[in-house]
Amino acid sequence: MTVQNSASAAGAAKATRGHPSNISDPSVAQAQHSEPTVTLYGRIAAGGVGYVSWPDPPDLHFSIIIDDAYSGITLLDGQPTMMEAGIRNMALIKTNRQDNTLPSGIRVRIPLQPPQGMSRQEFAHRIIVSSQRFVSYVAPYSAPKNIRGSQMRPGEYNSSSYVAGLLQSVMGCVPSISAPGFQTPEWENPIPGHFFKGEAIR
């Protein structure tokens, strides 16, 4: 499987450029570092539903992976709610956190650098705290308009919107990313910052 790794890490105002290289999916042990690192892992959205954009490039689903030799691996992303919170709360966005696990089917890996003046430890900590403050079961989760293409309906968001909004709440802006051969619908439309401060109105 081909996995794209960016040549330079994405910072507060830096664009990354993915370059293909042949790398197998890493294990949790291989991913851990002595200093916390933050990486975007991209895979085909919804286990293959991302291919619905054909003949355009497939859509990516991004997860934030924080790896630390002391606290382990933390996976963070936004997922649609199903029946776990009742019918009234279906198809809304919730924070998905998994510990000591890595996603499979990785197509793109993009390292992220903390903003200037922020340590890696603080960067990782703030991302986790902002994800914990996110108001789940409020923002509507939507597939691309007409189930294909790269645009959402106004006021609707997806997993890319969640990750972009989470990073913006910590970094002050959405980092520019590049994933040649894939689409990243709604990366440029982050969920507003007040959702990550525990503030939202139904």
pLDDT digits (tens, 9 = 90+) for 27-39: 555 555 578 999 9
Report if residue 173 sits inside a domain: yes
DSSP state of 4: E
Q: How far apart are CA 81 and CA 79, in angstroms?
A: 6
Q: What span, in angstroms and rounded, lies between the C-alpha atoms of 174 and 165?
A: 7
Q: 49: buried, middle or exposed (CB in 10 Å: 19+, 13-18, 0-12)?
A: middle
Compute the mean pLDDT over every residue in the chain, rounded to the nearest whole number: 79
Pairing mode, if any, of strands 106-112 and 2-6?
parallel
What the block records as the tokens of 160 is: 């890319």
Residue 197 lies in a domain: no
Prior bond of 55 cis (ω within 30°): yes
Q: How do residues 60-116 score in pLDDT, each as one tens digit?
A: 889 999 999 888 999 999 988 876 666 666 688 999 999 999 988 899 999 999 999
Considering the domain boundaries, does residue 199 fall inside one? no
Predicted confidence at residue 168, as pLDDT, reads 98
Lookup: tokens for 39: 């990486």
Q: What spatial distance separates the first Cα and last Cα of the chain, rounded to whole Å?
A: 43
- Write the CA distances from 142 to 31, 51, 73, 162, integer angstroms: 32, 16, 28, 12
% of the chain beyond a pLDDT of 90: 43
User: Domain for residue 53, yes or no?
Assistant: yes
| Structure-block tokens of residue 52 | 């619905």
Number of independent structural domains in the chain: 1
Across 131-153, average pLDDT: 73
User: 108 lies in which domain range?
Assistant: 2-191
Q: What is the mean pLDDT of residues 44-72?
A: 76
Which tokens in the block code for residue 10?
A: 């994405």
The share of the chain scoring above pLDDT 70, in percent, equals 65
Which residue blocks in the chain are alpha helix, DSSP H?
28-31, 120-133, 159-171
- Dihedral (Cα; 31, 33, 38, 42), 10-degree rounding: -10
Higher pLDDT, 43 or 88: 43
Asked, for residue 198, whether it belongs to a domain, the answer is: no
Q: Would residue 200 count as lying in a domain?
A: no
Closest CA to 127 of 168, 94, 91: 168
Q: Is residue 160 part of a domain?
A: yes
| Distance of alpha carbon 156 from alpha carbon 23, whole angstroms | 35
Give the C-alpha distances (Å, rounded to integers) separating 116 from 12, 60, 66. Answer: 8, 28, 19
Where is 21: in which H helix or E strand?
strand 18-22
pTM flag (> 0.85): no
